[in-house]
Amino acid sequence: MDSLSIRFNFGGAFVRTGLSFDELREAHAGACAEAATWLRETPSGTEGHGWMALPETDTSEIKRTAEWLKDYDFIIHVGIGGSALGSLMLNQSLLDEFRNCSEARPKFYLADNPDPTKTREIWEQSKGGRTALVGVSKSGATAETMSQFLWFRNEMIKQTGRAEDDILVITDPQKGIFRSFSRDPGCRALDLPASVGGRYSVLSAAALAGACALGIDIDELLSGAGKMKRYLLENTSMETNPAWLASSLHVCHEKQGRSMAVMMPYSSKMAFFAEWFAQLWGESLGKSGKGTTPVRAVGAIDQHSQVQLYTEGPDDKLFTIINLKKHGDQVSVPPVDCDALKPLSYLDGSDIGEMLGLEAMSTAAAIVKTGHPLIWVELERLDPTSLGALIFYYEYMTAMTGRMMGIDPFDQPGVEQGKKYTYGLMGRSGFEKDAEEAEEWFQRIAGISLKI
């Protein structure tokens, strides 16, 4: 892994397993090998498996579209779940946090949650210039996405008289409402491969088009993912493959009653990485009474809100801490220059980034000391190559864990039921029975009510 400068440390995860490394390998190596073979040999065109081929994506059409987007003052990206979190994660990790406050163009706004206040505020920020509307949905039917897409499109029509010339849809190559709409003159379209699920789509056009338009090196991102893919496919033992070992540990701890997987990067730039992981993990594994609940945390912020629970609370969590050795710009604490602040002199000359790393180490040590299992992941730096590698690693490890648990890591039947209820309640034809059923279940919720 030297070329990617990512180190995985698993010693802390053996706390309370009751197993040595050799015993864990004996118990799970066969299941790892079967899952690895399944991932390697299933054609990428098979439903759910398309993400495996994304590191080899031809980016030429994405780049041409990104050049078109660069001419705009504003990009409004409309999507939710996997059609949004990937973009948020890439932008936060690799761009200036306050880019939209600078003179840089285009400015980027993401309309995900259909909150009318947020929707209108995005338009108020962008209506004064040339605006591109990017809709991301495989079906073009997702209610949260399409309601906002239609509203923004209407506002654009009121402003300029026509919207299609300023619209890009990223959708299924063959079918769906968005694909039909994309055939209107002027509207642009990029393919979201049919065999790629939303939560596995970050390395597709769904996130790459906007990222490229904002200046992210998408070739380096895919290069890092490709390097990780080759490493994981070529190394077929628990001694050399971090995904084999991590998946085995997650399965082991789930069986022992640790029902939560805490993801805690020590970097503000990785807060949305934890959010992205939460969807990937929860939606892929939470089925048939199995899986573990993802918990998002960010260090050092959550040392002051959650670590008390983590160290002295119930033994129901497997922790992952991600640490960056280099945070970019150096910020050093100046010498104390007044008597009242003299007790803080121990901070003189300290680099804040190094301090954050020491806090990550301290939290990890405190968690393991109290007997709770922990995986430590360390990146030399956060750049497109290392981020691409980390994205592919977690996608692969998640899929492997699901296979080892005996579930399909690529479907989401629980999500689909909620979508059907929403369609019915919103009056979509063909979902009348779903509306009735949703009303019946909701009446049970309202059966005991207190109004104050």
What pLDDT shows up at residue 211? 98
388-414 burial, b at 16+ Cβ within 10 Å, e below that, comes to bbbbbbbbbbbbbbbbbbebbbbbbee
CB hemisphere CA count around 164 (13 angstroms): 9
Q: How many H-runs (helices) and E-runs (strands) does the chain carry?
A: 15, 10
Chain Cα centroid distance, residue 170: 18
Phi, psi (degrees; rounded to nearest 5) at 126:
-110, -10
* Helices 432-445 & 413-425 angle (0-180, nearest 10): 100
The CA distance from 276 to 387, in Å, is 13
Is there a contact between 32 and 238 (Cβ–Cβ < 8 Å)? yes
Give the number of other CB atoms < 10 A from CB of residue 214.
23
Tell me which architecture the domain covering 52-219 has in CATH: 3-Layer(aba) Sandwich (3.40)
CATH 3.40.50.10490 residue ranges for the chain: 6-40+220-405, 52-219
CA distances (Å), 320 to each of 193, 254, 310, 364, in order?
A: 31, 15, 12, 9
Under-50 pLDDT residues of the chain: none
**What is the predicted pLDDT for the residue at 427?**
86
Tell me which of 250, 253, 419, 420 is the catalytic residue: 419
- H/E element, 261: strand 260-265
Q: DSSP letter for 427, please.
A: T
CA distance 235 to 3: 15
Is 1.10.645.10 the CATH classification of the domain at 6-40+220-405? Answer: no
Measure the CA–CA gap between 423 and 214, rounded to whole angstroms.
Answer: 34
- Predicted local distance difference test score (pLDDT) of residue 429: 87
One DSSP character per residue, 214-234 reads TT--HHHHHHHHHHHHHHHHH
pLDDT digits (tens, 9 = 90+) for 244-298: 999 999 999 999 999 999 999 999 999 999 999 999 999 999 999 999 999 999 9
| Selected catalytic residue, list 41, 124, 234, 304 | 304
Q: Say if CB 251 and CB 371 are below 8 A apart.
A: no
- Answer for the pair 284, 402: CB distance below 8 angstroms, yes or no: yes
**First-to-last C-alpha distance (Å) of the chain:** 59
Cα-based torsion angle of the residue sequence 231, 237, 240, 241 in order, rounded to the nearest 10 degrees: 50
Rounded Cα distance between 128 and 147, Å, is 22
pLDDT given at position 229 = 98
Name the catalytic one among 283, 287, 372, 420. 283
21-78 pLDDT, tens digit per residue, is 999 999 999 999 999 999 999 999 999 999 999 999 999 999 999 999 999 999 999 9
397 close to 240: Cβ distance less than 8 angstroms: no
pLDDT of the residue at 435 = 85
Residue 283 designated active-site:
yes
Tokens read off for 109:
């706004």
What pLDDT is stored for residue 28 in this prediction? 97
